[in-house]
């Protein structure tokens, strides 16, 4: 069975990935190999990524690709549906899921890498990942830049270290949601979590940060309960 790297370097269509991504993909996606997963991929580009996933996951895999560029329609096939739309538009996602109500096993955001695009896509789509599924957003290194690219010179106000408008800071707030049952009053008041972050992370089981990638494991958190055994030996004073 070929590794994902081996598949990547044998593709017939153009694809563009950073090398460390392959190990992260394998860590989180290998569980779906041979299971005919249903995948939503934001960013179709030249079709190479969809080709890679079809070979990696095997027969029965279904991919829905979203892109704003109409040229991507040429990459549609019996296994790949291409939908034109702007990932930054909440109305697009409402209409999209009205037509695609079945949950996805994997959602992969490799679309536009501006902050608002990443955050809106995560907020609007992550609840449509089935329990046990994975949401992965890549190229989040753009959160640390002062600009995005020559194609979108800005100026933008949501990039840069510790900027509360970028994807990194947004997801860091989500860690408080995962631990919300431990929050105690401060100065007589219970701190309030951001309502959008709270709603978005209610169905997130865990968050994993890598160099330029964030992986969200979707599902219910286990009950936080203490476990004691019946051993007779205890520490003595």
b/e string for 64-81 if b means 16 or more Cβ within 10 A?
bbbbbeeebeebbeeebe
Residues 6+ positions from 5 with CB-CB distance below 8 Å: 19, 22
Say if 13 falls within a structural domain.
yes
Structural domain for 34, as ranges: 4-218
Task: Tell me the per-residue pLDDT of 93-145, one tens digit each, with 9 for 90 and over.
Answer: 999 999 999 999 999 999 988 889 999 999 999 999 999 999 999 999 988 88
The tally of domains found in the chain comes to: 1
Cα–Cα distance measured from residue 223 to residue 101, given in angstroms and rounded to the nearest whole number? 29
CATH of the domain at 109: 3.40.50.150
- On whether the CB atoms of residues 234 and 211 are closer than 8 A, the answer is no
Q: Identify the DSSP state of 47.
A: S
pTM reported for the whole predicted model: 0.91
Say if 208 falls within a structural domain.
yes
Element (H, E) at 200: helix 195-201
- On whether the CB atoms of residues 147 and 159 are closer than 8 A, the answer is yes
Helix (H, G, I), strand (E, B) or coil at 199: helix
Q: Which of 132, 131, 106 lies closest to 42 in space, CA to CA?
A: 106
Say if 195 falls within a structural domain.
yes
- On whether the CB atoms of residues 6 and 29 are closer than 8 A, the answer is no
Say if 231 falls within a structural domain.
no
Per-residue pLDDT of the chain (237 residues; tens, 9 = 90+): 899 999 999 999 999 999 999 999 999 999 999 999 999 999 999 999 999 999 999 999 999 999 999 999 999 999 999 999 999 999 999 999 999 999 999 999 999 888 899 999 999 999 999 999 999 999 999 888 876 554 555 556 666 777 778 899 999 999 999 998 888 877 677 678 889 999 999 999 999 999 999 999 999 888 888 888 876 666 555
Say if 226 falls within a structural domain.
no
Cα 93–98–99 angle (5° rounding)? 100
The predicted pLDDT at position 151 comes to 52
| Three-state SS letters, 8-20 | HCCCCCCCCCCCC
- On whether the CB atoms of residues 65 and 82 are closer than 8 A, the answer is yes
Tokens (6 digits) for 31: 């569980």
The alpha carbon of residue 94 and the mean position of all alpha carbons in its chain are separated, in whole angstroms, by: 18
Residues 6+ positions from 223 with CB-CB distance below 8 Å: none
Length of the chain: 237
Say if 108 falls within a structural domain.
yes
**Torsion from C-alpha of 111, 117, 119, 122, nearest 10 degrees:** -40
């Amino acid at each position: 069975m070929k590794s994902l790297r081996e598949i990547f370097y044998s593709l017939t269509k153009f694809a563009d990935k950073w090398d460390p991504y392959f190990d992260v993909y394998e860590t989180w996606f290998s569980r779906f190999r041979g299971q005919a997963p249903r995948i939503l991929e934001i960013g179709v580009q030249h079709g190479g990524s969809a080709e890679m996933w079809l070979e990696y996951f095997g027969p029965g895999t279904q991919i829905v690709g979203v892109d704003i560029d109409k040229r991507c329609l040429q990459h549609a096939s019996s296994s790949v549906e291409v939908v034109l739309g702007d990932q930054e538009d909440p109305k697009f996602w409402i209409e999209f899921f009205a037509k695609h109500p079945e949950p996805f096993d994997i959602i992969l955001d490799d679309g536009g890498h501006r902050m608002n695009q990443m955050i809106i896509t995560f907020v609007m789509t992550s609840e449509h990942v089935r329990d046990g599924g994975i949401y992965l957003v890549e190229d989040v290194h753009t959160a640390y830049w002062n600009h995005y690219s020559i194609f979108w010179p800005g100026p933008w106000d949501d990039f840069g270290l510790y900027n509360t408008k970028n994807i990194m800071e947004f997801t860091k707030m989500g860690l408080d949601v995962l631990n919300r049952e431990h929050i105690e009053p401060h100065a007589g008041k219970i701190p309030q979590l951001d309502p959008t972050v709270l709603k978005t992370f209610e169905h997130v089981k865990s968050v994993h940060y890598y160099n330029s990638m964030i992986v969200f494991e979707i599902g219910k958190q286990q009950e936080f309960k203490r476990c004691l055994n019946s051993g007779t030996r205890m520490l003595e004073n």
